[in-house]
Amino acid sequence: MKIFNKLNTQLRLLILVFLSLLNFTLIGKTPLISIVTDNQPGISVQHGLTKLTDALSSKNISFEKVGSLKEAKGEVIIVTGLSTGKGEASNLLKEGKHAVPEVPEALTIWKTKSQNKPVLVISGFDDVGLMYGLLEVA
């Protein structure tokens, strides 16, 4: 039993050292994913964003949350927002001639490119539609 406890303690120490080194190497690196959001997402959208970021965190995928495509440093960009208005999602949808039906709870999940990077646009006609899109991706 003492040997097992000693081994268990050594294993714990080794795991802590490894995790510390891993964390050290990840600090300062470019995030894998940039999440671009509208300025003031509603409660439903915040719920969907939380589920998405929780899913990314649980898979140890690095991400950042930013307010515009210009700020995005990730290798992959997720743009979220309503399909109408002046947000980044709306602008990309208009530029790509990708329409979202103008009915409650309508959503789209669309792959495109911007700044030579892959972009996933998650958009909804209203907050509920956008939340459904976020939950689908999460």
Query: Is it the case that residue 19 has pLDDT exceeding 90?
Result: no
Query: Is it the case that residue 11 has pLDDT exceeding 90?
Result: no
Selected from 3.30.379.10, 3.40.350.10, 3.40.50.970, 3.40.50.300, the CATH number assigned to the domain covering 31-137 reads 3.30.379.10
The mean pLDDT value of the chain amounts to 84
Q: For residues 131 and 59, give the distance between their C-alpha atoms in angstroms, rounded to a whole number.
A: 21
Domain segments of the chain as ranges: 1-28, 31-137
Q: How confident is the model at residue 10 (pLDDT cuts 50, 70, 90)?
A: low
- Classified as helix, coil or strand, 31 is coil
Query: Is it the case that residue 54 has pLDDT exceeding 80?
Result: yes
The tally of CA atoms less than 13 A away on the side-chain side of residue 47 is: 12
